[in-house]
């Protein structure tokens, strides 16, 4: 999994007025908690944070606070402004090499479905899948081959098998499939 370095500054100020002042300076208030870490309040530059939040990829984040203290974390929860779509607050979860980490990773579809070649229509319901593994085994993305996908067939999260990685997404969640179209029915009747 890709690592991303993010610099931050610890903060002691709390409350609405202090958080509003940070946001006016172009900073995003953050919180770090998790494995062996007491709650750490800090701020990061909003522009630096966009490199992590405005991408479909998943990252392990190497936090460097006050130029010295280093933590390894993942994005846990993001709060967004409902109108301006700017990030208001971020919760980071500290992680280590021993315990499994649960994270969402993007799905990459490969191949050309047999059902589409017969006139069906391909659809994709999920762009990400939730997996759990130790940090060294986490994938950057999950690749799903749809070459053998026929008409009215679908791939569910339970069908995805990965070595050393547990799929946490509900096993009945549909990732993608091929629908029968009106054109396919007409072609079958003519045949």
In terms of DSSP bridges, do strands 3-10 and 60-65 run parallel, antiparallel, or are they unpaired? parallel
CA-CA distance, 35 to 73, in Å (whole number)?
Answer: 10
- Between residues 12 and 127, which one has the greater pLDDT? 127
C-beta separation of 77 from 19 below 8 A? no
Confidence at residue 143, expressed as pLDDT on a 0 to 100 scale: 93
What is the per-residue pLDDT across 22-67, written as a single tens digit (0 to 9) for each?
989 999 999 999 878 889 999 999 999 998 888 888 888 999 998 7
What is the per-residue pLDDT across 113-157, written as a single tens digit (0 to 9) for each?
999 988 899 999 999 999 999 988 888 899 999 999 999 999 999
State both tokens at 105.
Answer: 């990773």
Q: Which domains are assigned to the chain?
A: 3-96 (2.40.240.10), 102-190 (2.170.120.20)
69 pLDDT exceeds 80? Answer: yes
DSSP calls for 26-50: TEEEEEEEETTEEEEEEEEEHHHHH
């Amino acid at each position: 999994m890709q690592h991303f370095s993010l610099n931050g500054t610890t903060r002691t100020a709390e409350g609405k007025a202090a958080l509003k002042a940070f946001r006016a300076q172009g900073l995003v208030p953050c919180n770090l908690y998790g494995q062996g870490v007491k709650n750490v309040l800090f701020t990061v530059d909003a522009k630096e944070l966009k490199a992590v939040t405005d991408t479909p990829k998943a990252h392990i984040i190497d936090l460097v606070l006050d130029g010295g203290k280093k933590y390894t974390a993942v994005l846990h929860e993001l709060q967004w402004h409902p109108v301006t779509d700017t990030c208001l607050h971020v919760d980071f979860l500290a992680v280590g090499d021993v315990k499994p980490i649960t994270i969402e990773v993007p799905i990459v579809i490969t191949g050309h479905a047999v059902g589409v070649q017969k006139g069906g229509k391909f659809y994709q319901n999920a762009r990400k899948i939730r997996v759990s593994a130790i940090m060294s085994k986490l994938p950057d993305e999950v690749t799903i081959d749809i070459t053998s996908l026929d008409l009215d067939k679908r791939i569910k999260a339970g069908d995805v098998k990965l070595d050393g990685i547990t799929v946490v997404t509900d096993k009945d969640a549909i990732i993608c499939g091929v629908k029968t179209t009106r054109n396919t029915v007409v072609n079958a009747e003519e045949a």
